[in-house]
Structure formats: structure tokens, C-alpha cells
Structure 1
Amino acid sequence: MVTEAPSKPGKEELTSRAARVRLLVFDVDGVLTDGGLYYGAQGELMKRFDVKDGHALVMARLSGLPAAVLTARTSSIVEVRGRELGLAAVLQGRRDKGAALEELLQQLGVSPEACAYMGDDHNDLAPLSRVGLAACPADAVPEVRQEVHFVTQSPGGRGAARELVELCLKASGRWDDAVGLMRGADGRGAQRVEQTPYSR
């Protein structure tokens, strides 16, 4: 029996969901990275992160929209990247992502409806089903693409996270201020960026 995929929300509903977001949560492999795992004799050596995604996450943080990562794998590389970007939380080694998301939301005092989650594979379906704005990269697996509210035009690790950040900042009216902060347009932005971990 073939089940019909749920229809995607229209622009007005999507904007409304995005405007309510108070926390962004991202899977790592295949979302913040391109999914490639580079191994050497001592184990995992590298992950590829996109600088534009990092830039957007810094913009979000400086605009008062925190972000976190939630991943089933464990890597010191992710811990380092999380510190660079000033993420609110880095949860690793959490195979039950639904339970881990609930824990994170309680810890940060955010309701599920005020959370956006981006994932790309089957183990992301549980947290995706719990949040107010579910998103995935363009190259996510079909089961994920059919369940989310927002599918980006970019693949994982190549601008997908940035698209979600832009959607939420624009929907909440914070995009222009975020751009101004990164430019230092108000006379304080440049100093604030220099004093915080930065994506480049």
C-alpha cells in the first residue's frame, strides 16, 4: 500500500513556523558536513565544514538565535567546531536522537514548537517529528524529505544550514540587523565579532 506524502506548508505557514524558532539544532554528518569521513591509521582525521554555514551560525548567535548540534557519532573535530562557532550545546554519541532532543530542550528551556531541527537520514526522523520547524538538505534520504516542512536547495555541508538560518532570521525580522552586526554597521558589530569565536 502506497501512502501519500504529506504536502509541504505554503510560504505563509513556513514563515510563521520560522518566526517562532528560538533554537536551531543540526545533525552533523551530511548536514553541517558533506557526509564524507576521512580516516587515517589513528582513526578519523578530518571533516569538511562549509564556511558559509559557519558564518550564518555566527550571525544567528549574535542576533540572539542560538544553535546546537546533535549527532550519533563522537568526534573531537565536532567539539572544536562547536567552540569556534559558540554553539549553545554539542551533544555527541546520542543514538536516541528523539530523547536527546527532549533533554536539550529542557536544558535550554525551549519548547518543541520553538525549535528547528535539520537532519538528513532515518535516525533524524524522531527529532524531526517533534519540532515546530523540521528541515533537511536537498540530498537527504527520501523518507526524510517527505516528512519535513522545509527542504533546502543546497546539499548537506554546502550551504544547507545557511538556508535555514536565513529563513528564520528573515521570518523574525532580524536579518538586516544580523547583516549589520557582521559589517560592524552600528559601530559595535565589528568589535563584537572580533571578541567571539568566528567561522573563518
Structure 2
Amino acid sequence: MTELPPKPNRDELTERASRVRVLVFDVDGVLTDGGLYYGDGGEVMKRFDVKDGHGLVMARHAGLRTAILTARSSSIVETRGRELGVSLILQGRKDKTAGFRELLTQLSVAPEECAYMGDDVNDLGPLGLAGLSACPADAAPEVRQEVHYIARNRGGHGAARELVELCLRATGQWEATVQHMKAPEALQAVKL
């Protein structure tokens, strides 16, 4: 196995994270554990982690927008994205580079103001464009070589929340967001 190139130092990583206005996530292998469950009628289940979901909710409460960019299409993803208040859900985008550019246009944001988390080689295009690129711990080796940040957690097991926390800490919003989430009125509206 080839040795990974050096990752940005903590200061550079914090600088990149502090510029993020939109967090973009792949689905299978990032927001889910990558398992696809099929019944007679087609795909019937995906496993999402509530910690990741709560991370996306926290991002929204801190003023960061979230987006989903996935090559597959599923009503399950649409439902989960709406539950979490995701700003934009782009499904069926086999060419993820084109999908990422479409997302940038629709959200009127520059690439350097985006974080993108992906897990496989079809994510390399957006990862190369994003100001902050990230992947779960169990991402493909080619992806781990290219990203700025490798989460400690696997896809669908807290990796997305790690990226949210990194960005909120970089902007000094983490503690205020945690305090906000303690308020009973904040929790009433939260679907994890």
C-alpha cells in the first residue's frame, strides 16, 4: 500500500473549515453505512445514523446550509433529507463533478466555501473542487489519499457529524450551537 500524502496541518485545516458555508454529502457510504437492502419491489431500506442527522440539524441551526449529492435515486433519501432540513438534494447525478457544479450554481456559492464528504472514486471530482474535502475512515484508498480530512468514524457511523463539528469549531460556533440545542424549544422541532 502506498503511503498517504501529508494532510494539511491543523491551522490550514481550521482555515479551510472556517470558510465553509455549505456542507455537501454523498449518501451511500457517507450518510449511510453503504448497505443497500432490496425487496421484491426494489430498494426498501438504508441505514442512517442519528448522530449524523443531528450533526446536520446543528449545522442548520448554526447557519450552515447542507446538501446531498448522490449518483443513485431513492425516495428514502428525499424523505431523510426533508426530515433534516437539507437545503438541496441532487439525486441521480452519475457525473458528480457536473452535479457539484450544478449545486454551486443553485446555492450561489463558490467551491472554496463548500465542504464535500465522499467515500469512493466517483467522488474524486467534487472532492478536488471543494475548499474542504473529507471522507469517512473506511473510504476507498484513492479517496483517503486526496482529501484534506479523514474522519475517525466510518460512513453511516458518525463521520458526517465529525465534519459538521470541525466546521462549527473552526468558526467558534460549536459551543453556542450545543447550548442552543439544549433548549427545549429547539428540541421540539428536531427530527433526527
Using the size of structure 2 for normalisation, the TM-score is: 0.96
Runs (4+) of structure 1 exceeding 4 A deviation are: 2-5
Change (3 A) 1:53 1:3: closer
Q: Are 2:25 and 2:69, in contact at CA under 8 Å, matched by a contact in 1?
A: yes
* Residues 1:115 and 2:143 are matched in the alignment: no
Once the two structures are superposed, what CA deviation does each residue of 1:86-123 show, in whole Å capped at 9, x if it has no partner? Answer: 00011000001111111111111111001000000010
* Residues 1:132 and 2:126 are matched in the alignment: no
* Residues 1:81 and 2:75 are matched in the alignment: no
Aligned-pair distance for 1:4? 7.2
* 3-state DSSP of counterpart to 1:98: helix
The 2-side partners of 1:4 and 1:46 are apart by 36
Corresponding position of 1:38: 37
Aligned-pair distance for 1:3? 8.4
**Structure 2 stretches of 5 or more lacking a match?**
none
Using the size of structure 1 for normalisation, the TM-score is: 0.93
Q: Residues 1-200 of structure 1 correspond to what in structure 2 (within 5 A)?
A: 5-184=4-183, 190-195=184-189, 197-199=190-192
**Which structure: greater helix fraction?**
2
Aligned-pair distance for 1:13? 0.3
Change (3 A) 1:4 1:183: closer
Number of residue pairs matched by the alignment: 192
Aligned-pair distance for 1:181? 1.2
AA aligned to 2:185 is: Q
